Amino acid sequence: MKSYLILSFSLSVLLISCSDKKELIVDPSDPAIEYSGRINRSSEESVGLNWPGSSIRINFEGASIAVLLQDESGDNYYNVILDNDSISILRPTKVKQYHQLASGLSKGKHTVELFKRAEWDRGKTSFYGFKINSGAKLLSKSAPKNRKIEFYGNSITAGFAIEDFSGKDSPDSTYTNNYLSYAAITARHYDAKYKCICRSGIGITVSWVPQIMPEIYDRLNPLDPNSKWDLSADEPDIVVVNLFQNDTWLVNLPEHEEFKKRFGDNPPTEEEIINAYQQFITNLRNNYPKANIICTLGSMDAAKQGSKWMEYIKLAVANLNDKKIQTHFMPYLKSEGHPTIEDQEIMAKNLIEFIDKFYNKENNILLENLEQFSKN
């Protein structure tokens, strides 16, 4: 009898020990995972992340958590945000493998978010799931966000070279961080669901790269013309368009290959430029019939005083005669290169003030949803 009790006690200790060390594998399809951005779900075993600002978030209990990833280029970077506070940087490899995100965690609820800070030119990252160890327990995801905001932009919106403190605007993806862009800051301010459709060098009529925004704005995979995102399935409350900066330079470079491809020998007329912008905004309106659209420019030299490009935008918006499409130009900040962290914070503050102050009853042009957007 005595030996039986000892055996029973030993077995109990063993069971407790095993419970403490249990491992939990969380598949990408698990409803407890919260995705944000344009997420590619075409594969049964993984989801793909192309666009900057795309994120994966999970709530859990456990002492450690790892993520299973495979990257196309090995040159993508992610912010790992633990418990909405501490941030580290992860660079997935071309090899499918687990990456430790956190360890030695205290008991209780924890949250981990992977936020894609790099641009889509660095290729797709495939996410295959999480592995949680030691007292692992999967918790339900956070309550859905009530607000939705979507940005269309270029390197300014992408947060290009924002962490290159040398001021040399290095194209190395190490220094790009969409999380610190005015777009992401604005979305976090409103606790809004965030999508960021942007690419360094892109324009509306011409780009430094082969694509222009009207060609790719509705794509899931930016490089695949047949890969379409269902815009109607998730209409945002606010759409912010910050484009034309690259057009301002390239229309004056007739020897550039992209100029020749788009315009031939002659630069576009002012009417053609206005029409191109107007058509792009019309495309957004056709897909988002209820959204409030803010057409902006800044903070580089396209937004300096006397810029004709701001006038082009004003004329295009006036032609549309849509009270839910407004213009707002951010200040020209005169940085030598791309916007710094401080510049991006100024831009975010400026945009937030516009959203908070412009769209209210005193202006007598209250736009549906937007007053509620700023007050919720």
Domain ranges of the chain: 22-138, 147-375
CA distance 201 to 289: 28
Number of H helices, E strands in the chain: 10, 17
- CA 336 from chain center: how many Å? 25
Cα distances (Å, whole numbers) of residue 256 to 67, 146, 265: 43, 45, 11
pTM metric for this prediction: 0.90
The DSSP 8-state label assigned to residue 306 in this structure reads: T
Tally the C-alpha atoms within 13 A of residue 347's C-alpha that lie toward its C-beta. 31
**pLDDT of the chain, 376 residues: tens digit per residue:** 333 333 333 333 333 334 445 799 999 999 999 999 999 998 889 999 999 999 999 999 999 999 999 999 999 999 999 999 889 999 999 999 999 999 999 999 999 999 999 999 999 999 999 999 988 999 999 999 999 999 999 999 999 999 998 888 888 888 999 999 999 999 999 999 999 999 999 999 999 999 999 999 999 999 999 999 999 888 999 999 999 999 999 999 999 999 999 999 999 999 999 999 999 999 999 999 999 999 999 999 999 999 999 999 999 999 999 999 999 999 999 888 899 999 999 999 999 999 998 765 333 344 445 555 555 5
Q: What angle do CA 134, 139, 141 make, to 5 degrees?
A: 140
Q: Does domain 22-138 fall into CATH 2.60.120.260?
A: yes
User: Could you tell me which CATH class the domain 147-375 is placed in?
Assistant: alpha beta
3-state class of 368 per DSSP? Answer: coil
Cβ contacts of 19 within 8 Å, gap of 6 or more: 135
